[in-house]
Amino acid sequence: MAIILSVLLLGGVLACTSEAIQHKNVLIVLSYDSQHSQYADFIKEVRETIELSGYVTDCKVLYMDLEYAPDAAFTSLHQMNDSLNKIEWIPNVIITDDDRSSHILLADTSDKVLNVKRTPIVLGSIYYPELMHLEGTTNVCMWTNKIDYYENIKLACELSKSNHLQIELDNYVYDELIRRELNAVISRPPFVKNFDVELGVINDQKLSERYKDSIVISTLRMDYGLYDIKNPSDSVLKRREKTRTFLKQSSRYPTLIVKKDLYCDAIANKSNRPQYTAITSDFADGMGSYLAGYFANYSTIAHDCGFAAARIFNGANPASISGQAHKKYFWMDYDAMQKLGMDYDDYKEKFHIVNVPFEIEHPTLYLIMIIAGVLFSLLILFVLWLIVSKIRKRLQEEKLTMIGRSRNISRLCLNSIENMPIESEEDVEKYISLAHPKSHKEIIEVRNSLKTQGCYSFLVYCAPKNDENYQWWEFRYDVTPSGVIGLIINKQEAIKLKERLDSVTRTSKEASRKEMFFNNLSKEVKKPLDVMCGSCDKLVNDELTKTEREKLVSEIRESSDALSQGLGDILLFSKIESGRLRYMIIEKNAGEFMTSFYNEMLPRVPSHLKCVLVEGRPNVYAQADFDRLRNVMMQLLLNAIKFTHEGSIKMGWRYQLDTHECEFFVEDTGIGIPEDSKDRLFNLFWKGDETTEGVGVGLNICRSLTEAMKGHISVGSILGKGSRFGIWLPARAESQEQTSEQSQESKNKL
């Protein structure tokens, strides 16, 4: 019974879960192209708001590009409809972002596009709801976003400290609505209307005398006199003069953007000073074009539209939740504030400031995080130092133990040496007759030596005691006129001793090499540790200026990067030594690889050095693991930067036709390499100079990776003039005829 109840309960939970999680198709129709700076966040906010209500969304986006290609809007809409029909994808709701996309979507009276008369539609950020003509519709929910001209004008004048504000308008429907609403706002003091520059030229003298207690609002229809060039009438000439006057004043007085078009963008960017906007489009574009405004931003619009869509999914009638207005706030762009030298603390209480660096918005938390990061790094470094010290101590103990064992072995071997005398030539013949056949060569040499006077020594494998116990014996004797005298010495134990000593020596050298490695590693750990400790101490205990604090933080980051680079080299070396590194050899265009690598590494080259990309033959295809090749080239480039104090660094590729190899090279004008150091350049843990930074594995890693990719590395250097390192890898090059044919085919296709 208990099992049955458990199964029923589990089934109920699964059923509830399957009902709670529903999949919905959402189509988002946006007015501008995909490069708009805020659309990515807008789409993300819509999706997250809907999914918080328990729905899984499949979002598709149509970018209508109404700013640059408005005539193609209906075509884009129909193409989207056709593509969705082919995959049988039906939207459960359609969301738009402003008047223009909404008007295009609702304008197709044929009702063939996306079933706009039946599919629920959420119109977001509608500035002019009277143009939507929604009478009698029940499937549309509209969020209004009327411009608050009074607040935006007051804000622009306060921040710019100017009583003259300019607004650009045209003769389109939206412009006439803007003109009507603006006229209603500024029809009373302290505002003074200067529509179409009717008051003539407004200069500083008039603003400070005649209009000192007023705010002058100047507008101009930018299409006046711009196209009817051949008409010499007075009215056209007057319009041209008004246009010149308006544009001339635009470089001196602030502009308020109340719509998005090409003229507005041009006027807003008329100078290096950020302007003001009453709409969310293009605000916070990353370039600081607009300083501030009072409006509903894209995040608010996206949240409201997503909330309305979720309510519709829950069963609400779209028309019943229509007519609500987006909440407006005072917004300011930190990038624009930086251009004007404005202090963040002076405006953070009134404005929602965007693009603020974390360390500026949360200085205390940022300082705590820096200190915590430094302390954590120090802890890691301390633990690492303890581990290195312990390993180093253990290696020293092992080395001493090996030396002690070597001495004991030597002593035991010397005590077991056996000697047998040679007193005549017959003794030599007797012993040599007992030699093993594998010492045939030595037997002949011994017998030949007996014919000539001199001192001789031969190592023979024999059994002089005639017991068939063959061992290595040394025949050491003198041949004199009076006869032969000497002795034979048992070398079996001596040879074994030598083999053991050779083994101990190799082990000792390996221990010494590891000790050198850990010495280098401990030094390289200690350097950034000292810098970070000192900087942290100053950062915590001293009262520093902002510049000094940024310098200390920069030192900490540089030390951390240096430590990270060293540890990265060690991890890569460890993988190579253990054979755990895997290679994926593919064929790739050498020029594309080097161009990408050059663009990636150019910011890391110091400004006092000139960095040049030397392009080689086009359409050369090298065979390599390009992730490993990138490691090698980065190591060579960092070495070039380290040892080049002035001049230039060149990198590039060239194809060797006769060997079918491609050389990837890095050439510098640095200190060069001494001749006596070139043979040891790629030795493990060798640095040439104890003052040189690094642990001494970089070039050894380069050689290992290159050889693993079936290539080789070349070095050329002149002391005091510079060095050139080349990585040679198998490659092929397309012929010039092939390249020309491919280019012609591409042109024909176009």
Co-location of 133 and 188 in the same domain: no
Asked which of 498-502, 661-665, 730-734 is least confident by mean pLDDT, the reply is 498-502
Clarify whether residues 109 and 258 are in a common domain: no
Q: Are residues 384 and 533 in the same domain?
A: yes
CB neighbours of 359 closer than 8 A, spacing ≥ 6? 366
What 3 state SS string does 569-614 have? Answer: HHHHHHHHHHCCCCCCCEEEEHHHHHHHHHHHHHHHCCCCCEEEEE
**Overall number of domains in the chain:** 5
3-state secondary structure 350-391: CCEEECCCHHHHCHHHHHHHHHHHHHHHHHHHHHHHHHHHHH
Same domain, 603 and 717: yes
User: Based on the domain organization, do 438 and 370 belong to the same domain?
Assistant: no
Going by their DSSP bridges, the two strands 55-63 and 93-96 should be labelled as: unpaired
Q: Which residue has the higher pLDDT, 187 or 542?
A: 187
> Could you give the CA distance from residue 67 to residue 127 in angstroms, rounded to a whole number?
17
Q: Is the pLDDT of residue 498 over 90?
A: no
Q: Is residue 130 part of a domain?
A: yes
CA–CA distance from 604 to each of 307, 590, 640, 642, 713 (Å)?
Answer: 46, 22, 12, 12, 24
According to the model, what pLDDT value does residue 64 have? 87
Q: Which of 278, 299, 328 is the last residue of a domain?
A: 278
Whether 330 is in a domain gets the answer: no
In this structure, are 246 and 115 located in the same domain? no
Task: Give the pLDDT of residue 497.
Answer: 67
Asked if pLDDT for residue 19 goes beyond 60, the answer is no
Domain assignment present for residue 465? The answer is: yes
Residues 356-375: tens digit of each pLDDT: 998 888 888 989 998 998 89
Q: Which residue among 144, 168, 189 closes a domain?
A: 144
pLDDT at residue 76, rounded to an integer: 82
The reply to whether 285 falls in a domain is no
Both 138 and 27 in one domain: the answer is yes
Domain containing residue 251:
149-278
Residue 695 has pLDDT above 70, yes or no: no
Please tell me which of 291-295, 442-446, 509-513, 734-738 the model is most confident about, judged by mean pLDDT: 291-295
Q: Let me know whether 190 and 93 are in one domain.
A: no
Residue scoring higher pLDDT (152 or 495): 152
Indicate if 601 and 458 belong to the same structural domain. no
Same domain, 160 and 179: yes
Q: Are strands 620-624 and 722-733 parallel, antiparallel or unpaired?
A: antiparallel
CATH number at residue 202: 3.40.50
In this structure, the answer to whether residues 132 and 104 fall within a common structural domain is yes
At 80, which CATH number?
3.40.50.2300
In a domain, 45, yes or no: yes
Q: Which position has the higher pLDDT, 197 or 152?
A: 152
**Residue 339 within a domain:** no
Of 278, 312, 336, the domain-final residue: 278
According to the model, what pLDDT value does residue 368 have? 92
Among 270-284, 513-527, 658-672, the least confident range = 513-527
Is 731 among the domain residues? Answer: yes
